């Protein structure tokens, strides 16, 4: 059937498919932001620069590191997908469990990918390694692009300012940044256009 298609039709298919792929990227993110349940996460931003992508803030969430003394950790390796159950706390949501399969629960469950798994962790206070397992998990919400030069303001907030992130988590566990909050007030809010 394809053999009979003219160049115009072939070009139309190419343009349609490539455009749909790009719209799909936008739509998937917007779906998460529109339907997801909002959670506020504690973060400590740092500010590297991406040569091709402009300024962005690298966000380091407290839920990025999960310790075995918080709750049991599954036996996973780098690259594995895990589901972290979150519970509302004041003011930030906290992790209460991690599993390799999505738990059957009404609670908010965020999907992440294991960046590193270790059988021990370093205790900064004692300067020693402790035999407590630790997972480093990435959720896909660790980068936030800001207008050039504005990253530093988030990296080094003024005295008394605290940066936190409002994240939407959809039914599948996908997440997206809804807003950057400074002292609980929105500084940057995401919209479709």
Contact 64, 138 (CB under 8 A): yes
N-terminal to C-terminal alpha carbon distance within the chain = 39
Least CB distance from residue 138 to other proteins, whole Å?
8
Backbone torsions φ then ψ of 35, nearest 5 degrees: -100, -15
- Identified binder of other proteins from the candidate list 1, 17, 158, 159, rule CB under 8 A: 17
* Under rule CB under 8 A, residue 61 binds other proteins: no
Least CB distance from residue 23 to other proteins, whole Å?
9
Contact region for other proteins (CB under 8 A) — 35-43, 52-60, 86-94, 152-160? 52-60
Interacting residues of 110 by C-beta distance below 8 A, sequence separation 6+:
39, 63, 83, 84, 86, 139, 167, 169, 173, 175
Q: Which is nearer to other proteins, 32 or 85 (CB)?
A: 32
Instruction: Determine whether 70 is exposed, middle or buried from the number of CB atoms within 10 Å of its CB (0-12, 13-18, 19+).
Output: middle
Q: Which residues bind other proteins (CB under 8 A)?
A: 2, 5, 7-8, 10-11, 13-15, 17-19, 21-22, 25-26, 29-30, 52-54, 56, 78-79, 113, 140-145, 147-148, 176-177, 190-193
């Amino acid at each position: 059937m394809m053999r009979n298609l003219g160049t115009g039709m072939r070009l139309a298919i190419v343009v349609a498919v490539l455009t749909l792929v790009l719209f799909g990227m936008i739509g998937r993110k917007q779906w998460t932001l529109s339907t997801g349940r909002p959670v506020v996460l504690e973060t400590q931003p740092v500010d590297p620069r991406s040569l091709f992508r402009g300024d962005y803030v690298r966000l380091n969430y407290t839920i990025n590191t999960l310790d075995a003394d918080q709750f049991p950790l599954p036996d996973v390796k780098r690259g594995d997908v895990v589901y972290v159950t979150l519970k509302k706390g004041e003011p930030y949501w906290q992790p209460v469990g991690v599993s390799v399969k999505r738990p059957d629960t009404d609670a908010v469950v965020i999907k992440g990918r294991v960046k590193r798994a270790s059988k021990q962790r370093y205790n900064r206070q004692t300067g020693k390694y402790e035999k407590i397992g630790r997972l480093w998990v990435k959720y896909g919400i660790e980068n936030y692009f800001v207008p050039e030069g504005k990253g530093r303001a988030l990296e080094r907030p003024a005295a008394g300012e605290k940066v936190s992130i409002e994240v939407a988590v959809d039914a599948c566990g996908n997440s997206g940044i809804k807003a950057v909050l400074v002292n609980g007030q929105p500084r940057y809010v995401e919209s479709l256009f």
